[in-house]
Amino acid sequence: MRPPDVPPVSSLKELFEFSQALAADTLRRYEQLEIEMKRCHNPEVAALFNELADLERGHSSELESWARDNGVASEGGAETDWRLPADNRLLSEEIAENLYLMTSYRALRLAVYNRERAFDYFSQIAAATDDVAIREKAEALAHGALEDVVELRLRRRQAYRSRAESLVGRFMHQSTPASSENMARMAVETDEILISLAENILTERLGRLPAKTETKLNSLLADLRSGLAKSGAAGGQKRVEAVVPQTFKNLFSALRNLLRELEITFDLFMEIAETSQSEEVVKNAQDAAQQYIRRLALVRDAIDDIAGPGVGKGAQGG
């Protein structure tokens, strides 16, 4: 039976209108996210959303060509917006509230979700119609969405593996928090890694740090140390060996590296929260991830202080 959020399609023209509205909505979201990622000094993810937008432009172009060849082209526009499934709008609102938390891995998860939903919509339309032409075209659109899902899932796995190359990622991928005790240990050890990274920036660049940047880094350190104190680990023997100082071309690059480690830490805790079967582990992982929202904001603000808001790829500097 056709789910209530999939539109009833009684003609090829209606199938085209729905398909085009879905592609246009996804394209609009990717274009907006590209702009926001540039404002957030996240050039890597901005470039990824530009690539995903190109993918949707390709879908729209293919649809328009097919519609012209079959005499079903229409103006589209506002009158077809109501056809968009409700979960598309809800997902867009959720993303808009969490822009600072976007990483390449999460962007690709979003892209996989979008194409999986497109596959589901077109499969349901094909199954619900008795019209041969509508069914064949809906099946073709579903097949195209599935091909995209396979490719995007591969890229998502590559992004997942790249996280393991980070300092936090190398450590956190060594074990799975099967218990709340392991979850607490991982939270302590990742905090120790991030404290070392922030301390290295302050030690190496203290004389050249803008006052506002130094204040934000000290606030980050205070927050991380407060987390250790609450866990009872402050003042005790460190569980993680000191992080070897890394060499960067400039302060912007050093802060971008710290931001990346924070993003990966947030990502990994969220993944634990989404996949664990233990309610206690889920709660602990969610609590840990929640702390990183304000920590991410501190470092992004510090980057704004030295680079200026809205600086794009050219400011990365290595």
Same domain, residue pair 113 and 212: no
**Residue 52 belongs to a domain:** yes
Same domain, residue pair 302 and 254: yes
Same domain, residue pair 213 and 198: yes
Of 145, 162, 179, the domain-final residue: 162
pLDDT at 306: 77
pLDDT at 247: 64
Q: Tell which residue, 99, 27, 84, has the closest CA to residue 61.
A: 27
In this structure, what is the dihedral angle of CA atoms 251, 106, 274, 90, given to the nearest 10 degrees?
120
The Cα 288–Cα 186 span in angstroms is: 10
- Tell me which residue range forms the domain holding 269: 167-315
Residue 175 reports pLDDT greater than 60: no
For the stretch 41-62, pLDDT in tens is 778 889 999 999 999 999 999 9
Residue 252 reports pLDDT greater than 70: yes
The DSSP result for 56-121, as a single string, is HHHHHHHHHHHHHHTT-----SGGGGGGS-HHHHHHHHHHHTTGGG--HHHHHHHHHHHHHHHHHH
Question: At residue 179, what is the residue type?
Answer: S
Residue 262 reports pLDDT greater than 80: yes
pLDDT at 176: 56
Confidence of residue 165 (pLDDT cuts 50, 70, 90): low
Q: Tell which residue, 236, 254, 246, 224, has the closest CA to residue 318.
A: 254
Most confident segment among 20-24, 105-109, 208-212: 20-24
**Residue 4 belongs to a domain:** no
The Cα 42–Cα 54 span in angstroms is: 19
pLDDT at 144: 93
Confidence of residue 143 (pLDDT cuts 50, 70, 90): very high
Same domain, residue pair 45 and 123: yes
Q: Is this structure's pTM higher than 0.85?
A: no
Number of domains in the chain: 2
Q: Which single residue is written with the structure tokens 């991982």? A: 186
Same domain, residue pair 141 and 157: yes
Same domain, residue pair 145 and 27: yes
Exposure string for 172-181, b = 16+ CB within 10 A, e = fewer: beeeebeebe
Between 207 and 72, the more confident residue is 72
Residue 139 reports pLDDT greater than 90: yes
Question: At residue 75, what is the residue type?
Answer: E
**pLDDT, averaged across the chain:** 76
The Cα 191–Cα 194 span in angstroms is: 5
Residue 137 reports pLDDT greater than 90: yes
Of 133, 162, 191, the domain-final residue: 162
Give percent helix, percent strand, percent coil of the chain, each to the nearest 5.
75, 0, 25
Same domain, residue pair 190 and 126: no
Q: Are 189 and 253 in contact (CB under 8 A)?
A: no
Q: Which single residue is written with the structure tokens 């996949």? A: 275
Confidence of residue 82 (pLDDT cuts 50, 70, 90): very low
pLDDT at 49: 93
Q: Tell which residue, 10, 86, 41, has the closest CA to residue 307.
A: 41
Of 124, 146, 162, the domain-final residue: 162
> What residues contact residue 71 under an 8 Å CB cut-off, 6+ apart?
none
Confidence of residue 169 (pLDDT cuts 50, 70, 90): low
Question: At residue 19, what is the residue type?
Answer: S
Residue 191 reports pLDDT greater than 80: yes
